[in-house]
Amino acid sequence: MKRLFIIAMMTGLMATPMLGGETYPDVPKASGNPHPEGSTYWRINHPDLLKHGRDMTVHEGARNTTASLSDCITCHAVNGPDAKPVTIVSDQHFCRTCHEYAAVKIDCFQCHASVPEEQGQAHLMFKEPTTDGLDVLLSYLQRVSP
C-alpha cells in the first residue's frame, strides 16, 4: 500500500512539469545510476567540475576524478537507430540537446571522443530496471529533488 502511494505520488510529480507548457529540451535519460549530488548540481556545475578534473588528469595523472568526460559520455550515451551510441554529429547526442538549447558552443569534441570507447563499459554502468519500475521512479525522484 505504501509503495503504491509512493508511485502515485511520483507519477504526479512527473506530470506536473508538463503542465507548465515550457520549452525545455527533452534531455535523454542516462543508463547508470543518478548523481548522488542531484542532477541540478551537475547541470549548474559541470563546466567547472570538468575543468578541474581535466587539469588533475592531464597534469597530475589522476584518472579517477569525480568529473571525467569519458564517464559522462559512457553513462549518457544515446543509442541511434543502429543501436550504437550516436556521435556529437547527431542532434540526439546528450551534450548537444542542452547546449543547442542554451546556445553554448563547446569544443570538447574537436579532440575528445563523443561516444563510449566500448559498448562493454556502458553495460557495466547499466542497471537492469526491476519489473515494477520502482527504480526508474526513484531515480527520477532523485534527479528532480534538489
Give the one residue of 1, 4, 18, 83 binding other proteins; rule: CB under 8 A: 18
Tell me which residue of 73, 68, 117 sits closest to 93, measured CA to CA. 73
Give the one residue of 9, 11, 33, 84 binding other proteins; rule: CB under 8 A: 33
Is 62 in contact with 56 (CB distance < 8 Å)? Answer: yes
65 phi and psi angles, rounded to 5 deg: -70, 155
- Residues 39 and 43: their CA atoms lie apart, in Å, by 6
How many residues bind to other proteins according to rule CB under 8 A?
Answer: 54
Can residue 46 be called a binding residue for other proteins (CB under 8 A)? no
Beta bridge partners of 85: 79
Can residue 67 be called a binding residue for other proteins (CB under 8 A)? yes
Is 77 in contact with 124 (CB distance < 8 Å)? Answer: no
Can residue 28 be called a binding residue for other proteins (CB under 8 A)? no
Can residue 86 be called a binding residue for other proteins (CB under 8 A)? no
Residues in the site for other proteins, rule: CB under 8 A?
Answer: 17-18, 20, 22, 24-27, 32-38, 40-41, 43-45, 48-49, 52, 54-56, 58-68, 70-73, 75, 87, 110-113, 116-117, 135, 138, 142, 144, 146
